[in-house]
Amino acid sequence: MIKFQQKQYSEYDAMRSLYKKLMERSRDNRQKYRVINSSALIPILNGNSVVIERFVISTSMFGKDRYRMYLKIGAKAKLPDEVRLPGRYRDKRLGELRLNFNGGVFGSKKFSDSRLKLFADNKKKDKQPPMISTSASPYIDLSVKVQEILGEAIKYDKRERSIILEFRTIDDAVDALDILPFGLNYTIYLLNA
């Protein structure tokens, strides 16, 4: 009997993956995302800031990973009544189609006889003329443009100034950090617990 083992991610693995992606994206500005420890958390939350408290990777029954980001919003950041991340268009691939067409040119008896005279060897008069054949294989990519939201707010508590966002990929999570609806010029921190 074959046993399949589900992959397990620790919170450290998830946060490390996020940190690597953030550093990869911000090569020009290393100060864009800062790492803090828990002793610096309270002063940071008094400003115009967003703190990533946790980042978790979970695997569903069907094998698709989901990424959850737990955020705390600083006291000077603007809070909306509800949080919705914008959508974007992407190409969704449905599959591909390949068709093969094979054909050939078969002449009349008169045409075949004249070709026989052209290609016939003096010693072998019964030699067949070469066939003219064609082949075409057109390729059709079946993809459509779909609009999907960047991420989803699973839980938003305006009074506690906390939010949990869920994403399909780590790239979506990083993209969302630049367009969070908490005002302008907020600073993003990663909590190293």
For every residue of the chain, which 3-state class applies, written as one string? CCCCCCCCCCHHHHHHHHHHHHHHHCCCCCCCEEEECHHHHHHHHCCCEEEEEEEEEEECCCCCEEEEEEEEECCCCCCCCCCCCCEEEEEEEEEEEECCEEEEECCCHHHHHHHHHHHCCCCCCCCCCCCEEEEECCEEEEEEEEEEECCEEEEEECCCCEEEEEECCHHHHHHHHCCCCCCCCCEEEEECC
Predicted local confidence at residue 5, as pLDDT: 47
Predicted local confidence at residue 97, as pLDDT: 74
Predicted local confidence at residue 49, as pLDDT: 93
Task: Encode the chain (193 residues) as per-residue pLDDT tens digits.
Answer: 554 445 556 778 888 889 999 988 888 777 788 899 999 999 999 999 999 999 998 876 676 888 999 999 999 999 999 988 888 777 777 777 777 767 665 554 555 555 555 555 555 555 555 566 667 777 777 788 888 888 999 999 999 999 999 999 999 999 999 889 898 889 999 998 6
Cα gap 44→169, rounded to integer Å: 28
Exposure class string for 26-37: b at 16+ Cβ within 10 A, else e: eeeeeeebeebe
Predicted local confidence at residue 88, as pLDDT: 77
Predicted local confidence at residue 162, as pLDDT: 95
- Using CB atoms within 10 Å of the CB of residue 64, give its burial: 0 to 12 exposed, 13 to 18 middle, 19+ buried: exposed
Per the CB < 8 A criterion, the answer to whether 175 and 69 are in contact is: no
In order of 5, 124, 128, the CA distances from 68 in angstroms are 22, 80, 71
Predicted local confidence at residue 153, as pLDDT: 92
**Distant-in-sequence, close-in-space partners of 138: CB < 8 Å, separation ≥ 6:** 98, 99, 101
Predicted local confidence at residue 45, as pLDDT: 93
Predicted local confidence at residue 124, as pLDDT: 54
